[in-house]
Amino acid sequence: MEEDTIKIKDLIIIGAGPAGMTAGIYAKRSNLNPLIIESKMPGGRVVLTDFVENYPAFPEGISGQELAGLIESQCRNFGVEFENFVKVDLIEKDDNTFKLKTNKGDFFSKTVIVATGANPAELGIPGEREFRGRGVSYCATCDGPLFKNKNILVIGGGDSAVQEAIFLTKFASSVRVVHRRDKLRAKKILQEKAFNNPKIEILWNSNLLEIKGENSVERAVILNNKTNQKREIKIDGVFMYVGIKPNSSLVKNLVELNEKNSIITDYKMRTSVPGLFATGDVRNTPLKQIVTANSDGAIAAISAEEYLEYELR
């Protein structure tokens, strides 16, 4: 490939969430000239989080939007370049150059850090897709205010489900958490807050089977998986927190993925393809959080620098 006919970057980072932007800061400080390509505006899933209380250095907590804005400012202060509203559909490797196919043409780079995060998983039940945006939501911060004085269900039992159920009590008159087991997976501190909130009821050993209505969500069919009894209850909205699926389709034919479609990396964020690194929620990380995404991003940037310096000859 002719370097003088095509502009080949040293490093392209895909995704401007905490992982990608931290990689940008570390890469810039290592004298690389990284470009961050982002399909939306910078920030990542953090902007969907009402309140972050476990990110160090903010003893009173901080809104997700504000935190994402601070990380972006730091990145921009270092002069990291951004291309927003560019979606990378596919990455190919030819010799030692990566070709990124996007909706705004092809980009070329010697190294790539994939920091594309993950999206909420669907439950896959009747009514879920039909009523998406008409009562079915995956984002309490975005849609919570639309449910003032309404009765809603939150599906799931992990940190996100419980945290967002608590948030939704600011608007809704009742929040029922539908959980398929008899114990929540959420951290104890969140569980206590939920148990002490008079607006929250937990429906234990329960599965949401179907969402019904005319133009918007009106009823839900719930199964008690211990007694096998089904019942139909009146509701106005359903918020889904049943897991996430990694945004790895852009490299699915290029790198090794695990059974959950997470990109497999080693401790240096190296994938099975030399020069291609992965960070944050898109990789096989044991903890999907902002602080771990940041850490991954820093390591990936340094690994990319080492690769350019010592391996790419």
User: What is the number of alpha carbons within 13 Å of residue 265 lying toward its C-beta?
Assistant: 27
The least CB distance from residue 198 to ligand FAD, in Å, is 23
The least CB distance from residue 255 to ligand FAD, in Å, is 14
Choose between 17 and 34: whose C-beta lies nearer to ligand FAD: 17
The least CB distance from residue 152 to ligand FAD, in Å, is 15
Rounded-to-integer distance, Cα 310 and Cα 168, Å: 51
Return the beta strands (E) in the chain as ranges: 8-14, 35-38, 51-52, 62-63, 81-84, 88-94, 97-102, 105-114, 118-120, 136-137, 151-155, 174-178, 200-203, 206-213, 217-224, 229-234, 237-240, 244-246, 276-278
| Of 69, 89, 85, 86, residue with least CA distance to 77 | 69
The least CB distance from residue 141 to ligand FAD, in Å, is 7
Choose between 55 and 204: whose C-beta lies nearer to ligand FAD: 55
Q: Look up 75 and say whether it is catalytic.
A: no
Rounded-to-integer distance, Cα 204 and Cα 195, Å: 13
- Is the CB of residue 113 less than 8 Å from the CB of residue 300? yes
Choice among 89, 106, 142, 266 that is catalytic:
142
Choose between 164 and 236: whose C-beta lies nearer to ligand FAD: 164
Q: Residue numbers of the site for ligand FAD (CB under 6 A)?
A: 14-20, 37-40, 44-46, 48-49, 52, 54-55, 87-88, 115-118, 160, 164, 247, 250, 280-281, 288-291, 293
Choose between 141 and 206: whose C-beta lies nearer to ligand FAD: 141
Rounded-to-integer distance, Cα 277 and Cα 142, Å: 31
Q: How far is CA 258 from its chain centroid?
A: 18
Q: Look up 142 and say whether it is catalytic.
A: yes
The least CB distance from residue 36 to ligand FAD, in Å, is 9
Q: What residues have CB less than 8 Å from 312, skipping those under 6 apart?
A: 96, 110, 111, 275
Choose between 48 and 154: whose C-beta lies nearer to ligand FAD: 48
Choice among 4, 94, 95, 143 that is catalytic:
143
Please identify every residue annotated as catalytic.
Answer: 139, 142-143
